[in-house]
Amino acid sequence: MKRKVLLFTSDGIADPASRIRGYLVARCLSENGFDTRIFMYESTKTNIFMRSLHIIKDFLIKINVVIKSGKEDLIYIQRGVNSLSQFSFIFFLFSKFILGKKVIYDIDDGLFLKEPFIINNLIRLSDLVIVGGHGLFNYAKKYNENVALIPTSVDLKKYSPVAFRKCDHVRLGFVGSPSTTNYLRLLLNPLGELAKHYDFEVRVISSPSYAGYKPFNHLFKSFEKRGVKVKLIPWSAQGEFHELRNIDIGLAPLFNGEWEKYKGGFKVINYMAAGIPPVASDVGEHKHIVQDGVNGFLCKNDQEWFEKLRKLIEDENLRENMGANARKTAEEKYSIEKNAKTLAKILSELL
């Protein structure tokens, strides 16, 4: 009989964390000897009252699922069971202490910075904590000895490496959710300086609903005032890989703050999987993913952003070689096939 894992996510498939650390992990565990069922949270309700009712109904359905599950089934919580951590904590306590289940908690951001009591206790009381990066690993170890680092990984079969383009018009790309596009402010000055000397375009691939978001429109205009051409491209699960193929250099700026210290670096991994050389802020998990000058560049300040982007814009051979090294890194360290096998082995030992 296959071992069963019930995997719960805090959001729907459009959310990067739920899609990659939830849906993709569930699929790959199924390929590695587990009977995996996934329960995603997704709500289209905009009215606060209706949204609240939906959250409560969804929570009760999931409680019922756990009550009816087998005695040996593992409960795997990716961030939470819905958008409210309070419900996730109640769900966790009920599953572990009332039903006697073994519970795995997966975390890929510094959620404890916002809700320390709930998140720290989820970490402390879990039978196993799965983390997405080194900063999170060190943090979780303070509360729980049973911590495993499984980086956010990619399905390399879907990422055929980008065919290298010889071109005068270089395309810089940024793929990110609406909440991360604010990091592009860090590049206003270096990209503005580069625009005085080179012909390039910045492609921002983000949520379609974000086109009318006022802060981004203001940022868009700020780039245009500096002579930087910016094109907003709607993100879709179907179109993401096609759009990646139209990028020559991947951008991954981050503020140097507490929250960023615990981010998993998936943006960089995403570029690498497509064979795109990443240029990233020298912050947090980026330091563990990027070997500066080998499979990408790390930048500490405006001058380094300017110089390292200039090198890649000018040197086609450097772009090609660095992109090939980036892909090799993705194959060696961030393949979902390899990392799912590691996770499956860890879960088997927990049973």
**pLDDT tens digit sequence for 131-182:** 999 999 999 999 999 999 999 999 998 887 766 667 778 999 999 887 788 9
Q: What whole-number distance in Å separates Cα of residue 1 and Cα of residue 144?
A: 31
* Distance from the first to the final alpha carbon of the chain: 13
User: Which residue in the block uniquely carries the two structure tokens 């070997």?
Assistant: 291
**Strand ranges across the sheet with 102-107:** 34-39, 3-9, 74-78, 102-107, 128-131, 147-149
pLDDT tens across 103-132, in order?
999 999 999 999 999 999 999 999 999 999
Domains recognised in the chain with CATH numbers:
3-153+336-350 (3.40.50.2000), 157-333 (3.40.50.2000)
Q: Which residues contact 282 (CB under 8 A, 6 or more apart)?
A: 292, 298, 299, 300
Contact (Cβ atoms closer than 8 angstroms) between residue 191 and residue 219:
no
Q: Look at residues 63, 93, 5, 7 and name the one whose alpha carbon lies nearest to residue 348.
A: 5
Question: pTM for this one?
Answer: 0.93
Q: What whole-number distance in Å separates Cα of residue 179 and Cα of residue 83?
A: 16
Average pLDDT, the chain: 91
**Strand 249-252 relative to strand 229-234: parallel, antiparallel, unpaired?**
unpaired
Q: What whole-number distance in Å separates Cα of residue 1 and Cα of residue 4?
A: 9
Share of the chain above pLDDT 70, in %: 95
φ and ψ of 35, to 5 deg:
-90, 100
Share of the chain above pLDDT 90, in %: 72
Q: For residue 207, is pLDDT > 90?
A: no
pLDDT tens across 261-311, in order?
999 999 999 999 999 999 999 999 999 999 999 999 999 999 999 999 999
